[in-house]
A and B are shown apart, each in its own frame.
Chain A
Amino acid sequence: MTRPRIEVSDLVVRYGDATAVDGIGFDIAPGELVTLLGPSGCGKTTTLRAVAGLETPSSGSIRLNDETVYSAPERRNVPTEKRGVSMVFQSYAIWPHMTVFENVAYGLRVRKLPQAEVRQNVQRVLDLVQMQDFSERPASKLSGGQQQRVAVARAIAFSPNVLLFDEPLSNLDAKLRAEMRVELRELQRRLDITSLYVTHDQEEALAISDRVIVMNGGKIEQIGTPEEIYNRPRSRFVADFVGSANLIQGEVRGPSSSNDTLIFEAEGGMRLEVVASSASRDGQNTVALRPSYIHLGHAAGSRNAVAGRIHRRMFHGDFIQYVVDWPAGQLIVRRPPTELFDEGSEVTISFEPVHCVLL
């Protein structure tokens, strides 16, 4: 069995009295793209920078390619330039005093490769990011999107084992961001390069990752595939931060008659059937329900059906968002733009127990 390319364990990073990263650990397998997702200040960028060697942790250990690059007990801290990682910075960090070619060739020249090989490699990666026509251009004369491509080309030029991304798309406008997301994923798959990716954009994280690590307050909230994170959030924080969720307060009243679900009594007396999660525990008093999984009108197989009334309709283009009054207060529902209901009309709200996640 191949060892993971990146192994982080019990990592703690402190700045003075503040603890930015509070004892986290995870492994990343070869060729995998794993995202650190969380709000600003959750410690995700600090974790990435610790892996790169740009921050010095307080304790824990980091192993890259089976070599310990940081270990508090062994007092070992390999400097950044000896770690064999590469990184794409949030600000791109394109050196303005060099041409595109010189920027991309930097890592190869540091490694003292022969001139011909440098030229060949730069050409290859510029082709990959479709910047082959810009190699002699001064780097200061590039648009944001072009700088982004050069930054990626520079990061992969010297064939690093591990690639780190620090919010690489956050400075691009929405449309370009969506395009680059696809391209980055393509590139990563094609080169089969182990990647750790930091973002605060949950949509981006779900779209490009093999696995997502959701962080909050310096700790890991949940690790899982994008589908697991979205469908089975393990905490209120994850349910709320990744995608959007209706959070319904109430109490579990025991198994239902069919015995494969639990009865959940919401505040206001409404009873819902919910699926018991494997990690069921006492004191669970919230059900998370994604707006996209709720039907308006009676849908087949939806074992929960409740009467409600459309309070507000907002047209978003790709979908319509309804605010629906129902016995437990108000419910957010997303429907395709073909399903039009007028404000004030009575509807039946229905959804499946499997989409009701007990927290």
Chain B
Amino acid sequence: MIVRGLSLRQIVMPLVVLLCGTLVLYPIGFLINESLNVGDPSVFPPEEYGLDNYWNLIDDYHILANTALVACIATVLAVLFGFLQAWILTRTNIPGRQRLERLMELPYYMTPLIGALAWGVLLGPKTGLVNQVWRSLGLPGDLFNIYSPYGIAWVMALFEGTVAFVMISAAMKSMDPSLEESSRVLGAGKLRTALRITLPLVAPGVLSATIFVFAEMLGSFAAAFVLGIPGRFYVVTTAIWQATLSFPPDYGRAAAMGLSLFGVMLITLTLARLVLRHGSYATITGKAFRPREMDVGRMRWPLLGIAWGYIIVAVILPLAALLLTSFEKFATVILPQMKFTLANYETALQMGSVGPAFVNSLTLGISVATVGVPVIGVLAWIIYRSRMPGRGAAEYVIMFPQAVPRLVFGLGLLWAWINLPIPIYGTLWLLGLAYFTVFLPLGLRTIASVVLQVDPSLEECARVCGAPWIYQMRTVTLPLLRPGMVAAWLLIFIASVRELGVSIFLMGPNSKVIAPAIVNSWLSSSSELSAAMALIQTATVFAAVALMFSLARRVTGVTQ
């Protein structure tokens, strides 16, 4: 006797998995197909297949060298920032650590695009605010030219430093303090304990953070785009973009580059996971310990300075520069030359294409989050709760977009949907679909963390009490998942509003969105207008974050 409630479940579950799996794999399939196309690039399906696109990558060795240079410098800097901050904020007794720890999240919301714009305003050659001061002091040349590999690495490092901080401090926090205490009890001194016990225990966390950050750097786009294009300095991601703009567009070369980058990223990310899993001994128990705080004595003030220094350089200085610039007619810090105006904001909100871009971005953010979260919720439940065969493979596929550089995925989506008879290319529908696909991993991870916390017997008990599947989902499962769903909604909203890599390929003349619009304004018109636009975008994101925290507090307040 097969009961109807069960069969409904049996229809819904494979359908959702199949749909999401297709959305992810379809563009990647196209990308692979295109990378092997050695005939006329604008003909589909390809007339000739071959590996020439991959062989030709060897000629682009300078681009690979550029990418490696930027990624290496930025990784070293980011891990240095992250490690220092993590150690200061979790293991020393400097004052105000908790507030600092919360502020450390800010660079993450700043996004690399905002960082790049702000540092362009600060350290651009000749016109950069800092360089203006430098010259007004009568010093020769520029203090620093941000339009250089080192400038790009600097901006990326400031952004990824937060990621490194989060990963390394997690490793430091999950260490049982009794491991160090027993070393002290057995007679080892502070230094010996640090070298023989603490360091080996934290090392896997630091190493995996390093590899993870490096992989992110390889696929990052915004900083290299804003700061590299003016000086014709190309890394892989910007070179891919350039290849699609050339005439005729060299999609084959772009796809081959993209897939190779994806391959390297996949290998490094897998490596990071392996390091974390095999090297982490038993320190990561998921249990949060209050680590032993080291009394740093007089060193507390310099350390406090370092901790605040990072926040100032990564958040306050860039925001202040953008704020000043956005209210000026011409970006300057020379007092007598300053002319303040609101015109930039007026233009940003009115301009033929920019105003609608804001509206489009907000519309997309709200609708993608609203439609996406319930679907991802069901998906998370299927993958982490049900016993559907193949759910492990489903998880792997859904998490795929995470390892594909956003820009490469955008290219695949462009190519895939352009060749479909469904006329959605150049519309917001396509952007919505693309956002949903690339944010699947983000949503899944957020909701999964809540799904895993819900004891399965809470659901089983509902069934035992006589509730059919739908009734159980409505009365028990979904209410328990609410905090995760709210968080996922806001995270997807934020990610949508600041999306760049996919949007830049998929937006059409009638479907402009904000992040690419800011980039275009930066490259084609004025930095003052771009600053105003970037600030409006940042304010939207911050407002959403504030909303998230107040909502989260209310939701968890009810359930606990």
Residues of A that sit less than 8 Å from B by CB: 52-54, 76-82, 84-87, 89-91, 93, 95-97, 106-107, 110-111, 140, 154, 158, 164
Contact = CB atoms under 8 A, between A and B. Distances in A.
B466 A111 contact: yes
A107 B466 contact: yes
Contacts of B476: 95
Contacts of A110: 465-467, 471
Interface in B455-491: 455, 457-458, 460-468, 471, 475-476, 479-480
A154 B465 contact: yes
Contacts of A89: 457, 460-461
A131 to B, nearest CB: 17
Nearest to A141: B560
A54 B463 contact: yes
16 contacts: A53-B463, A79-B463, A80-B460, A81-B468, A82-B466, A84-B466, A86-B464, A89-B457, A91-B455, A91-B457, A93-B460, A96-B559, A97-B480, A107-B465, A154-B465, A158-B466
Contacts of A87: 460-461, 464
A45 to B, nearest CB: 11
A81 B466 contact: yes
A78 B458 CA distance: 20
A168 to B, nearest CB: 12
A158 B464 CA distance: 11
Nearest to B387: A56
Interface residues of B, number: 24
A91 B460 CA distance: 12
B137 interface: no
Given A78-B3, A87-B464, 15 more contacts: A52-B460, A52-B464, A54-B460, A79-B3, A81-B464, A81-B467, A82-B466, A86-B464, A89-B460, A93-B457, A97-B480, A97-B558, A106-B475, A107-B466, A111-B466
A192 B5 CA distance: 32
Nearest to A154: B465
Nearest to B6: A79
Interface string B146-190: 000000000000000000000000000000000000000000000
Contact of A95 (B5, B458, B471): B458
Contacts of A95: 458, 461, 476, 480
Determine which residue in A80, A140, A154 has the highest number of CB atoms from chain B within 10 A of its CB, and name it: A80
A349 to B, nearest CB: 46
Nearest to B460: A54
A121 B415 CA distance: 63
B457 A86 contact: no
Contact of A93 (B458, B467, B475): B458
B455 A93 contact: yes
Nearest to B467: A110
A107 B461 CA distance: 10
Q: Enumerate the 7 nearest inter-chain pairs by beta-carbon distance, A residue then B residue, closest first.
A: A107-B465, A93-B461, A93-B457, A80-B463, A89-B457, A87-B464, A110-B466
Contacts of B464: 52, 54, 80-81, 85-87, 164
B267 to A, nearest CB: 31
Contacts of A54: 460, 463-464
Contact of B462 (A85, A96, A106): A106
Interface string B428-472: 000000000000000000000000000101101111111110010
Contacts of A96: 480, 559-560
Given A93-B457, A93-B460, A97-B480, A76 B1 contact: yes
A97 B3 CA distance: 29
B10 to A, nearest CB: 12
Interface of B: 1, 3, 5-6, 455, 457-458, 460-468, 471, 475-476, 479-480, 558-560
A32 B460 CA distance: 25
A158 B462 CA distance: 13
A104 B289 CA distance: 36
A169 B439 CA distance: 44
A153 to B, nearest CB: 12
Determine which residue in B457, B480, B560 has the highest number of CB atoms from chain A within 10 A of its CB, and name it: B457
A122 to B, nearest CB: 13
B43 to A, nearest CB: 49
Determine which residue in A80, A81, A164 has the highest number of CB atoms from chain B within 10 A of its CB, and name it: A81
A89 B463 CA distance: 12
B466 A78 contact: no
A173 B3 CA distance: 41
A110 B476 CA distance: 12
B560 A82 contact: no
A93 B463 CA distance: 12
A78 B6 CA distance: 10
Contacts of B457: 89-91, 93
A106 B1 CA distance: 26
B248 to A, nearest CB: 54
Nearest to B3: A79
Nearest to A84: B466
B13 to A, nearest CB: 15
B560 A140 contact: yes
A86 B465 CA distance: 6
Determine which residue in A78, A82, A87, A95 has the highest number of CB atoms from chain B within 10 A of its CB, and name it: A95
Contacts of A164: 464
A79 B472 CA distance: 13
Contacts of A154: 461, 465
Contacts of B461: 87, 89, 93, 95, 154
Contact of B559 (A53, A77, A97, A106): A97
A175 to B, nearest CB: 25
A146 B5 CA distance: 34
A245 B323 CA distance: 82
A52 B457 CA distance: 12
Determine which residue in B466, B468, B475, B558 has the highest number of CB atoms from chain A within 10 A of its CB, and name it: B466
Nearest to A54: B460
A158 B467 CA distance: 12
Contacts of A97: 479-480, 558-559
A106 B460 CA distance: 13
A26 B149 CA distance: 76
A198 to B, nearest CB: 13
B458 A82 contact: no
Contacts of A93: 455, 457-458, 460-461
Contacts of B471: 110
A53 B3 CA distance: 13
A95 B6 CA distance: 23
Contact of B3 (A82, A85, A90, A106): A82
B8 to A, nearest CB: 12
Nearest to A157: B465
Contacts of B466: 81-82, 84, 107, 110-111, 158
Contacts of B467: 81, 106, 110
Contacts of A84: 466
A87 B457 CA distance: 10
Contacts of A106: 462, 465, 467, 475
Nearest to B479: A97
Nearest to B558: A97
Contacts of B560: 96, 140
A95 B287 CA distance: 23
